[in-house]
Amino acid sequence: MDITNYFIGNEIPLEDLGGGVKRRITAYNDNLMCVEVHFEKGAIGALHSHPHEQITYIVSGEFEFNIGGEKRVLRAGDSTFKQPDIEHGAVCLKEGMLLDIFTPCREDFLK
């Protein structure tokens, strides 16, 4: 993968994933990826798992997370860690944005 050092936010379109969820890949290389995920109130990040480690920082809004069967309500300034292959998802209680950090890069997001 070629290395890019600058990613200009207003030049990267939001990808509409449907159901009130939009995504913008803000920066990445082979080993690391940063992604904004915008949620409308009531939107659902369905339960899923993947082989990547993931940190989620709640930039704005309020979300009920389910990580490995444990549910917690988190707000702006809170964060989560998800180890590889743990089932996780979220429901947006108040419109907001998450910042997801993945290692390694989510190549499936680039296709």
Q: Is 77 exposed, middle or buried (0-12, 13-18, 19+ CB in 10 A)?
A: exposed
Let me know if residue 84 belongs to a domain. Answer: yes
Let me know if residue 23 belongs to a domain. Answer: no
DSSP for the chain reads --------GGGSPPEEEETTEEEEEEEE-SS-EEEEEEE-TT-EEEEE--SSEEEEEEEEEEEEEEETTEEEEEETT-EEEE-TT--EEEEEEEEEEEEEEEES--GGGG-
Separation between Cα atoms, residue 37 and residue 24, nearest integer Å:
7
Percent of the chain with pLDDT over 90: 96
> Domain of 108?
28-43+60-111
What CATH number is given to the structural domain containing 36? 2.60.120.10
State how many domains the chain has: 1
What's the pLDDT score for residue 111? 84
What's the pLDDT score for residue 87? 98
Residues in the chain with pLDDT values less than 50: none
Nearest 5°: CA angle at 85, between 80 and 89?
50
